[in-house]
Structure 1
Amino acid sequence: MINKFLYPNGGSETYIFKLGDYLKSQGHEVQYFGMEHEGRCVGNRVNAYTSDMDFHGGSKLAKLAYPIKTIYSTEARKKLRLVLEDFKPDVCHLNNFNYQLTPSIILEIQKWRKQGHPCRIVFTAHDYQLICPNHMCNNPNTGENCEKCLGGHFLNCVKGKCIHGSTAKSAIGMLEAEFWKLNGAYKYIDTMICCSQFLKTKMDSNPLFAQKTVALHNFVDKVEWKDTPKKDYVLYFGRFSKEKGIDTLVRVCKELPDVQFIFAGTGPLESELSGIPNIKNVGFQRGEALEKLIREARFSVYPSEWYENCPFSVMESQMYGTPVLGANIGGIPELIEVGKTGALFESGNADDLKEKIQTLWSNHALTDQYTENCKAITFDTIEAYYKKMLPIYGAAK
């Protein structure tokens, strides 16, 4: 398993830890390669890792080399070679690697393969990193979704200042993308796993990738069904930020004073929730407290305005028996059975969101039926996902 972070940091780390653990439980040997970090919780026998690159902290001297090291890493190649020679893997499963590890690791794996070591290179795309330098297909300055770089037109990243609003950082991102497009390292990847059909369509804008992509929704933990009495509130749980559609949702909340909303999370737009009588902000929740909030909600709302891929919140809500009103954008529609376990509205359209909330809120029989339908939800568990991964891992054998 190759991932730049080897400590709990986000969705890709949860993915590699859970998949790695299950592979071990089925008799496979798994080792990990990535950056060294004080929080690292997995590793490899030879203790070979790249130096920690802290873009937000660290010394100014160390940062001087970052523009070059984020494009090509000799250190990553050397350290990975130590692991390859010791472990001799049948599969190298890549995850998030750009900037900290760089695609140079693909060249090292290919060099090792050419020396007589059969090994599959599999890549799971958790975002748009291979087709969009800022990884989101969204311009953070305008908040608008953007596909200008698709097809390899990466100069648009600089024109739009798409990386942290900085011309310099965007130029580095553009150079990194152009360098690896010309280098051709990605042709050595055997299979590219996309966590939504939507992501696959965007990846397929690159003719090379189109020959390699498969769509597999992420796996979820098994959840015990519980018949839970519903309470009269609509739940939003997640990050309070513009790309998540919080601005639009809050505007609608103000126009529906008779509907009670509970917001669970944190983020830069948290102050927007203050002083609105029908919004109760319970802050960031996890574990049993979050489960209880989800199970007791009449329905949840997922108003995202960017190209979400396979948001776990949408799956989690339905697994706990709570229907979802989701934005019709990205991979969200793939996760909701419209008219059975939830509904969709036009992303960013406050009027449509308001109308759909009113429809669900005023019809208890409808939401009760949707809740009942959630019993039949069949998202892949880790066991089912593993069975789909085996042919991908072993297709070259």
Structure 2
Amino acid sequence: MTRARRLLAINNYFYRRGGAESVFLDHIDLFTAAGWEVVPFAMQHPANLPSAWSEYFVSEIEYGGTGGPLTKVRQAAKVIYSLEARRKIRALIGRAPPTIAHAHNVYHHISPSIFGALKAQGVPLVMTAHDLKLACPAYKMLSHGRVCERCHGGRIHNVLLRRCVKESIVVSGLVLLETLVHRSFGLYRNTIDRLIAPSRFYRDKLVEWGWDAGRVGYIPNSIDAKAYSPATHEGDYVVYAGRLAPEKGLATLVRAVALSHQRLVLAGSGPEEQTLRKLAGELGADVAFTGHLDRPALKRVIGEARALVLPSEWYENAPISVLEAYALGRPVIGTRIGGIPELIADGETGSLVEPGNAAMLAEALAGLASLPSSARAAMGATGRDWVAREFSSGNYRDRTMALYEALR
């Protein structure tokens, strides 16, 4: 190539807030290291990393935040279609014309108003589907804590009828209006050149819900296994690492821990913490709550566990926590739902159980605990080798680069 390649990297947040942000920021680092100039576009936020391009970031908006009626109306308008974001992206691409744009999460904050501006300038657009928002108005595809696909086939009114989002008629109504506007104007369908699904499950689900199979590619998440060192010491507990939320299946996990008389460490925070504390007390379950941990502490807790447990009861995509556990040489127990089964070789790198089945999960926990530590270490080593071969940062970069080249 004769001119420098410039990537416009787009995401609501510009700090490590969750799995999507980790993928976004690691993506930036990978392409910067590969010689690309990377220009970020995000929302202003006190926790953001420093950036020479922050003057172009859109004003902060907290979805569902507090404020008076006028403030809420303005926020609702920006959630649906942000004129500010469209104006600022135009100014940014005028100053730094990108070779390609790659979006991650944009809804509710930046909004897809920016995509038309990119299309008008002939900028190829790729978007990673970190959840199922491009299929279902309720991005987790959940209704009242259970997997729900009633909106399939265009029946999106169900999101309001069933109050699927936060069990609120107001918020669900706003999400329905947002979806109607976005679909009516083709703000996603008519502008995105390629969707990337990090799991085969998400790829197939998006196609099932109407996306053209030729526009949806599969590129798994990645991890640099060299940045993780397996621990020499193994503790006497299993660990869950992540948000303490209802769809994560943690009440089932606490019940399974009580049934199997195992120890559990819950590393994270979230709305379910008090409910889980109460449940653990009622059942006499041995559960330790650590709250949010920084990266070194989290690596240590996972690395010294007998196993990572992922008891999700929703359509998980491709959890980075599984790859991290393998990189630390630990096996994983997970549920057969969403993209999780793609990441666990049952009996080789861990075990799979049915979601919501406390007895089956308890049996898996007890079975793993009964093995010699060398057997668990062997499973973890198999997982680490798998990560190094199939989920390496180099593989992710090369697969993504090939997709970019195909669009230019």
Q: Same fold (TM over 0.5)?
A: yes
Structure 1 residue 31 displacement after superposition: 0.8
CA distance in 2, matches of 1:231, 1:245: 23
CA distance in 2, matches of 1:5, 1:60: 26
Deviations 1:244-270, CA, capped at 9 Å, x for gaps:
11111111222223x333332223333
Aligned to 1:116: none
Aligned to 1:73: 82
Structure 1 residue 29 displacement after superposition: 1.0
CA distance in 2, matches of 1:54, 1:263: 27
Structure 1 residue 212 displacement after superposition: 0.7
Matched, 1:188 2:165: no
Which of 387, 400, 405 in structure 2 is aligned with 1:389?
400
TM-score (norm 2): 0.88
The amino acid that maps onto 1:104 is S
Matched, 1:144 2:146: yes
CA distance in 1, matches of 2:151, 2:296: 42
- Pairwise CA RMSD: 2.2
Aligned to 1:108: 117
CA contact (8 A) 1:3 1:94 kept: yes
CA distance in 1, matches of 2:13, 2:288: 35
Structure 1 residue 61 displacement after superposition: 3.1
Matched, 1:127 2:131: yes
Q: Which moved more, 1:148-157 or 1:31-40?
A: 31-40
Structure 1 residue 340 displacement after superposition: 0.8
Aligned to 2:164: 162
1:264–1:39 Cα change, 3 Å: closer
1:76–1:262 Cα change, 3 Å: closer
Structure 1 residue 133 displacement after superposition: 1.8
CA contact (8 A) 2:242 2:268 kept: yes
Matched, 1:285 2:293: yes
Which of 86, 89, 101 in structure 1 is aligned with 2:95?
86
Which of 176, 179, 182 in structure 2 is aligned with 1:177?
179
Matched, 1:53 2:86: no
Structure 1 residue 176 displacement after superposition: 1.4
Q: Which moved more, 1:347-356 or 1:272-281?
A: 272-281
Structure 1 residue 46 displacement after superposition: 8.5
TM-score (norm 1): 0.91
CA distance in 2, matches of 1:128, 1:203: 7
CA contact (8 A) 2:41 2:56 kept: yes
1:299–1:46 Cα change, 3 Å: closer
CA distance in 2, matches of 1:75, 1:33: 13
Structure 1 residue 88 displacement after superposition: 1.0
Matched, 1:201 2:212: no
Matched, 1:268 2:277: no
Moved over 6 A (4+): none
Structure 1 residue 80 displacement after superposition: 1.0
Which of 309, 318, 327 in structure 2 is aligned with 1:310?
318
1:226–1:366 Cα change, 3 Å: closer
The number of residue pairs the alignment matches comes to: 389
CA contact (8 A) 2:127 2:192 kept: yes
CA contact (8 A) 1:93 1:121 kept: yes
Structure 1 residue 333 displacement after superposition: 0.8
**3-state DSSP of counterpart to 1:337:** coil
Structure 1 residue 59 displacement after superposition: 5.6
Structure 1 residue 308 displacement after superposition: 0.8
Structure 1 residue 342 displacement after superposition: 0.5
Aligned to 2:223: 220
Aligned to 1:238: 242
Structure 1 residue 60 displacement after superposition: 4.7
The amino acid that maps onto 1:265 is G
Aligned to 1:357: 365
CA distance in 1, matches of 2:201, 2:357: 20
The amino acid that maps onto 2:138 is N
Structure 1 residue 91 displacement after superposition: 0.4
CA contact (8 A) 2:225 2:384 kept: no
CA distance in 2, matches of 1:256, 1:227: 25
The amino acid that maps onto 1:334 is E
Matches within 5 A, 1:11-26: 11-26=19-34
The amino acid that maps onto 1:383 is G
CA distance in 1, matches of 2:369, 2:45: 48
1:226–1:173 Cα change, 3 Å: closer
Q: Which moved more, 1:337-346 or 1:227-236?
A: 227-236
CA distance in 2, matches of 1:375, 1:32: 32
1:70–1:348 Cα change, 3 Å: same
Which of 247, 250, 257 in structure 1 is aligned with 2:254?
250
**3-state DSSP of counterpart to 1:64:** helix
Deviations 1:104-123, CA, capped at 9 Å, x for gaps:
2111111222xxxxx21111
**3-state DSSP of counterpart to 2:346:** coil
Q: Which moved more, 1:192-201 or 1:259-268?
A: 259-268
Runs (5+) with no aligned partner, structure 1? 114-118
The amino acid that maps onto 1:125 is A
1:333–1:287 Cα change, 3 Å: same
CA contact (8 A) 2:267 2:291 kept: yes
CA contact (8 A) 2:222 2:393 kept: yes
Structure 1 residue 42 displacement after superposition: 5.0
The amino acid that maps onto 2:108 is Y
Structure 1 residue 327 displacement after superposition: 0.8
**3-state DSSP of counterpart to 1:178:** helix
Aligned to 1:37: 45
